[in-house]
Amino acid sequence: MKLEFITQEEAENIKRKMPKSKTMLEFEDYLKQLPDGQVGKIEVTQKDGIKPQTVRSRLVRASKNLNLDIQTKRIANTVLFWRT
């Protein structure tokens, strides 16, 4: 075991070296495609096998990966999202 001291800035810049999942890349792509001033709308059906809350969580996580500020709103099986 090796002890080392680094700055807080260095610690914040350390990221996992695992590749991103296809799912996360897909949600990041949704955010990249979103035109300014527009609202994205994802409707989740039972066939999708996913809950609307999971979609919302993945959008939030993807926005953090891209350093984007977004707002989300979930209404029943629909998730709305836009840049702030």
Residue 52 resides in a domain:
yes
Give residue 40's pLDDT: 97
The count of C-alpha atoms lying within 13 angstroms of the C-alpha of 30, restricted to the half-sphere facing its C-beta, is 23
Report the distance separating Cα 75 and Cα 73, nearest Å. Answer: 7
Residue 5 resides in a domain:
no
Instruction: Assess contact for 56 and 30: CB atoms under 8 A.
Output: no
In terms of residue numbers, what domain contains 45? 19-83
Give residue 17's pLDDT: 72
Report the predicted TM-score, pTM, of the whole model to 2 decimal places: 0.76
Which residue numbers in the chain have pLDDT < 50? none
**Residue in 77, 68, 75 with CA at minimum distance from that of residue 33:** 68
Residue 72 resides in a domain:
yes
Residue 11 resides in a domain:
no
Structurally, the chain folds into a number of domains equal to 1
Residue 27 resides in a domain:
yes
Report the distance separating Cα 25 and Cα 47, nearest Å. Answer: 21
